[in-house]
Structure 1
């Protein structure tokens, strides 16, 4: 089955939590899986804020190869719901001020963690497996995921600054060429565009898109 990258991208953006599987340093050859908070960056790569004391951090420092699995948060079951597994290499990185601001919009509690021993990691995907439902599944290559239209952090910041009249109870998290992430009623939501918008078209349509949030 040919998988549209946008479907997998929308799933990543809807998920607050993921499962990270790293290579155990305590029991060689065995995977070590743990639930983690997950924030997508501007190119739809999972970014994580991890403690240096955590077992998964030690595992990643020894071997960066890992996988991140996500399940549609509204799925009735793990077999019927959309799910995504990204395989790749986890790399530590120092976020720019705009990247940090984006991460903290999605995960405000990380601001307290950064006063401790927490640091940022980002997955560099190699391949992705997307399952939409029974019999509907396929692989995506990294270039299909990463080479689409990208809203640069500076442009995203400009658009968020323009969103003055938000619907009641809505807090913006981030924007990209495939959709807008926001919080409403204490839940993460996503306005998914029917087709990807280039940054200029997104800027031109920004007021009507903001008005559609609820």
Structure 2
């Protein structure tokens, strides 16, 4: 071998290959979680039970407290029959908007979707989709939770990243009191603090009234007004009800004073 031979060049990442989220030059994890929490309907791709052909359909989406995607589906639907045979699937979250559709952020989550009878799942889904109460208890309907294996984020031009399951979902360790107290806190805010909810929504660019809190978690609040949603992150994560009360007061005071209330 020629000692003067030029060593092989190091392997380079292709120009279109996304970076891992931790290496991305933008907040890929924050944007992905924003899409998870904020999008109420998306494209579900399942594997056809007859011949294995990819089968895409439109479904409504909510999230569990850790960000796990939730769906309510009828077993009469093709995608439900597909999942009962093979739980592997992917779910596309896209906000859409004016102009080029490909200029807006979107997130694809891959994983396995299985049925769940957990009461909390029902509560969170119906809070996010109140009209689904009309048919949620029909005998052919059931709730599904998608356990993610990976995420692929396209945040717009030249902003792409891949995410692991742990980057998509929140670790709820140490937040058990917040998890168990969520429904009481949600009801209290909706009954007594509609003005504060409007302030929180306005702080992330969603003006108007009629906002209701549909869920909360260690990172933020999920708001709904008609068909509009707003995800409001706290200035810093919280793990218990005492910290939650303090941060909500701080956020409301900051909003009334004209300052930023969100960590987003």
- Give the TM-score range, shorter chain: 0.7 to 0.9
Normalised by the length of structure 2, the TM-score is: 0.72
Paired residue total = 211
Normalised by the length of structure 1, the TM-score is: 0.88
Change (3 A) 1:158 1:7: same
Larger radius of gyration: 2
Indicate conservation of the 8 Å contact 1:182/1:189, yes or no: yes
SS in 2 for 1:11: helix
Q: Is 1:154 equivalent to 2:186 in the alignment?
A: no
Instruction: Please give the alpha-carbon distance, in whole angstroms, between the structure 2 residues aligned to 1:171 and 1:50.
Output: 24
**Bigger shift: residues 199-208 or 59-68:** 199-208
Larger RCO, structure (CA 8 Å, separation 6 or more):
1
Indicate conservation of the 8 Å contact 2:213/2:224, yes or no: yes
* 1:130 aligned partner: 153
Unaligned runs of 5+ in 2: 1-18, 22-27, 196-208, 256-260
TM superposition shift of 1:100:
2.1
Spell out, residue by residue over 1:137-162, the C-alpha distance to the aligned partner (whole angstroms, 9 max, x if none): 11111122235357553222232233
* 2:24 aligned partner: none
Instruction: Please give the alpha-carbon distance, in whole angstroms, between the structure 1 residues aligned to 2:109 and 2:70.
Output: 12
Aligned 1:107-118 pairs, distance under 5 A:
107-116=129-138, 117-118=140-141
TM superposition shift of 1:57:
0.3
1:176 to 217, 221, 231: 217
1:197 to 235, 238, 244: 238
Spell out, residue by residue over 1:144-203, the C-alpha distance to the aligned partner (whole angstroms, 9 max, x if none): 223535755322223223311212422111112222111235411222335533345333
Instruction: Please give the alpha-carbon distance, in whole angstroms, between the structure 1 residues aligned to 2:99 and 2:238.
Output: 31
For the aligned residue pairs, the C-alpha RMSD in angstroms reads 2.2
SS in 1 for 2:102: coil
- Whichever structure has more helix as a proportion of its residues is 2
Unaligned runs of 5+ in 1: none
SS in 2 for 1:67: strand
